Structure 1
Protein backbone atom coordinates (compact mmCIF):
# COMPACT_ATOMS: atom_id res chain seq x y z
CA UNK A 1 0.00 0.00 0.00
CA UNK A 2 1.23 3.50 -0.83
CA UNK A 3 1.02 6.51 1.49
CA UNK A 4 1.39 10.27 1.24
CA UNK A 5 2.10 12.33 4.36
CA UNK A 6 2.30 16.09 4.72
CA UNK A 7 4.10 17.12 7.90
CA UNK A 8 4.89 20.47 9.50
CA UNK A 9 7.08 20.96 12.57
CA UNK A 10 6.67 23.82 15.04
CA UNK A 11 9.48 23.98 17.63
CA UNK A 12 8.46 25.57 20.92
CA UNK A 13 11.62 27.68 21.06
CA UNK A 14 12.90 31.02 19.83
CA UNK A 15 15.48 29.27 17.65
CA UNK A 16 13.14 27.34 15.38
CA UNK A 17 15.03 27.14 12.09
CA UNK A 18 17.75 24.74 13.33
CA UNK A 19 15.31 22.15 14.68
CA UNK A 20 13.23 22.26 11.47
CA UNK A 21 16.29 21.86 9.25
CA UNK A 22 17.61 19.10 11.53
CA UNK A 23 14.37 17.15 11.20
CA UNK A 24 14.35 17.50 7.41
CA UNK A 25 18.02 16.45 7.19
CA UNK A 26 17.32 13.39 9.34
CA UNK A 27 14.28 12.51 7.25
CA UNK A 28 16.34 12.80 4.05
CA UNK A 29 18.57 9.96 5.30
CA UNK A 30 15.68 7.58 4.58
CA UNK A 31 16.00 5.37 1.51
CA UNK A 32 13.11 4.32 -0.73
CA UNK A 33 10.80 7.27 0.03
CA UNK A 34 10.34 10.47 -1.94
CA UNK A 35 10.60 13.70 0.05
CA UNK A 36 9.62 17.16 -1.15
CA UNK A 37 10.15 20.18 1.09
CA UNK A 38 8.68 23.64 0.61
CA UNK A 39 8.27 26.71 2.81
CA UNK A 40 5.13 25.40 4.52
CA UNK A 41 5.62 21.66 4.91
CA UNK A 42 7.39 18.49 3.92
CA UNK A 43 5.66 15.80 1.90
CA UNK A 44 6.71 12.15 2.09
CA UNK A 45 5.62 9.58 -0.49
CA UNK A 46 6.17 5.85 -0.66
CA UNK A 47 5.38 2.45 0.74
CA UNK A 48 3.21 2.70 3.86
CA UNK A 49 5.60 0.82 6.15
CA UNK A 50 8.68 2.70 4.97
CA UNK A 51 7.02 6.10 5.34
CA UNK A 52 5.68 5.27 8.80
CA UNK A 53 9.04 3.84 9.93
CA UNK A 54 10.79 7.02 8.76
CA UNK A 55 8.28 9.23 10.57
CA UNK A 56 8.51 7.21 13.78
CA UNK A 57 12.31 7.30 13.74
CA UNK A 58 12.61 10.99 12.87
CA UNK A 59 9.92 12.26 15.23
CA UNK A 60 11.50 10.32 18.12
CA UNK A 61 14.94 11.67 17.13
CA UNK A 62 13.54 15.20 17.07
CA UNK A 63 11.93 14.92 20.51
CA UNK A 64 15.13 13.52 21.99
CA UNK A 65 17.33 16.16 20.39
CA UNK A 66 15.18 19.31 20.57
CA UNK A 67 12.63 18.71 23.30
CA UNK A 68 9.13 20.10 22.95
CA UNK A 69 7.89 20.52 19.41
CA UNK A 70 4.52 20.25 17.71
CA UNK A 71 4.04 18.11 14.59
CA UNK A 72 0.99 18.54 12.37
CA UNK A 73 0.44 15.70 9.89
CA UNK A 74 -1.98 14.81 7.14
CA UNK A 75 -2.12 11.20 5.95
CA UNK A 76 -3.51 10.36 2.52
CA UNK A 77 -3.97 6.91 1.05
CA UNK A 78 -1.92 6.42 -2.12
CA UNK A 79 1.17 7.99 -3.63
CA UNK A 80 0.15 11.49 -4.67
CA UNK A 81 3.65 12.65 -5.56
CA UNK A 82 3.94 14.94 -8.56
CA UNK A 83 5.24 13.39 -11.76
CA UNK A 84 8.94 13.96 -12.39
Structure 2
Protein backbone atom coordinates (compact mmCIF):
# COMPACT_ATOMS: atom_id res chain seq x y z
CA UNK A 1 0.00 0.00 0.00
CA UNK A 2 1.24 3.47 -0.86
CA UNK A 3 1.41 5.93 2.03
CA UNK A 4 1.84 9.69 1.91
CA UNK A 5 3.02 11.51 5.04
CA UNK A 6 3.35 15.21 5.71
CA UNK A 7 5.92 16.13 8.37
CA UNK A 8 6.54 19.38 10.23
CA UNK A 9 9.39 19.49 12.74
CA UNK A 10 9.41 22.09 15.51
CA UNK A 11 12.73 22.22 17.41
CA UNK A 12 12.25 23.88 20.78
CA UNK A 13 15.45 25.92 20.72
CA UNK A 14 16.67 29.13 19.10
CA UNK A 15 19.01 27.44 16.60
CA UNK A 16 16.27 25.47 14.82
CA UNK A 17 17.40 25.54 11.18
CA UNK A 18 20.22 22.95 11.49
CA UNK A 19 17.83 20.56 13.25
CA UNK A 20 15.21 20.81 10.51
CA UNK A 21 17.79 20.63 7.71
CA UNK A 22 19.37 17.53 9.22
CA UNK A 23 16.00 15.74 9.30
CA UNK A 24 15.32 16.70 5.67
CA UNK A 25 18.81 15.56 4.61
CA UNK A 26 18.31 12.22 6.38
CA UNK A 27 14.99 11.71 4.60
CA UNK A 28 16.49 12.63 1.22
CA UNK A 29 19.25 10.04 1.67
CA UNK A 30 16.71 7.19 1.62
CA UNK A 31 16.04 5.20 -1.52
CA UNK A 32 12.56 4.37 -2.76
CA UNK A 33 10.78 7.42 -1.38
CA UNK A 34 9.48 10.51 -3.11
CA UNK A 35 10.34 13.55 -0.97
CA UNK A 36 9.04 17.09 -1.53
CA UNK A 37 9.97 19.93 0.82
CA UNK A 38 8.40 23.38 0.95
CA UNK A 39 8.42 26.25 3.44
CA UNK A 40 5.82 24.64 5.71
CA UNK A 41 6.47 20.88 5.62
CA UNK A 42 8.04 17.87 3.98
CA UNK A 43 5.93 15.28 2.19
CA UNK A 44 7.10 11.67 1.88
CA UNK A 45 5.54 9.08 -0.38
CA UNK A 46 6.31 5.41 -0.81
CA UNK A 47 5.44 1.96 0.40
CA UNK A 48 3.82 1.98 3.84
CA UNK A 49 6.67 0.24 5.64
CA UNK A 50 9.33 2.41 4.02
CA UNK A 51 7.57 5.65 4.95
CA UNK A 52 6.96 4.55 8.55
CA UNK A 53 10.58 3.41 8.92
CA UNK A 54 11.85 6.69 7.50
CA UNK A 55 9.77 8.73 9.94
CA UNK A 56 10.78 6.61 12.93
CA UNK A 57 14.46 6.34 12.06
CA UNK A 58 14.96 10.01 11.21
CA UNK A 59 13.20 11.19 14.37
CA UNK A 60 15.32 8.83 16.46
CA UNK A 61 18.50 10.09 14.77
CA UNK A 62 17.45 13.73 15.21
CA UNK A 63 16.77 13.24 18.92
CA UNK A 64 20.12 11.47 19.37
CA UNK A 65 21.97 14.27 17.57
CA UNK A 66 20.11 17.34 18.84
CA UNK A 67 18.27 16.20 21.97
CA UNK A 68 14.62 15.50 22.58
CA UNK A 69 13.47 19.13 22.66
CA UNK A 70 11.62 18.85 19.37
CA UNK A 71 8.10 18.12 18.22
CA UNK A 72 7.32 16.22 15.02
CA UNK A 73 3.80 16.62 13.65
CA UNK A 74 2.79 13.97 11.09
CA UNK A 75 -0.27 13.54 8.92
CA UNK A 76 -0.69 10.19 7.18
CA UNK A 77 -2.81 9.60 4.09
CA UNK A 78 -3.11 5.97 2.97
CA UNK A 79 -3.04 6.70 -0.75
CA UNK A 80 -0.89 7.87 -3.61
CA UNK A 81 -1.23 11.65 -3.84
CA UNK A 82 0.23 13.75 -6.62
CA UNK A 83 2.97 15.42 -4.62
CA UNK A 84 5.05 17.53 -6.94
Shorter-chain TM-score tier: over 0.9
Counterpart residue number, 1:60: 60
Counterpart residue number, 1:28: 28
Q: CA deviation at 1:30?
A: 0.6
Which stretches of structure 1, 4 residues or longer, exceed 6 Å deviation after superposition? Answer: none
Q: What TM-score does the superposition give when structure 1 sets the normalisation length?
A: 0.94
Structure 2 gap segments, 5+ residues each:
none
Classify the secondary structure of the residue corresponding to 1:78.
Answer: coil
Q: What TM-score does the superposition give when structure 2 sets the normalisation length?
A: 0.94
Equivalent residues, number: 83
Q: Distance in 2 between matches of 1:65 and 1:47?
A: 27
Counterpart residue number, 2:77: 76
Structure 1 gap segments, 5+ residues each:
none
Over the residues paired in the alignment, what is the CA RMSD in angstroms? 1.0
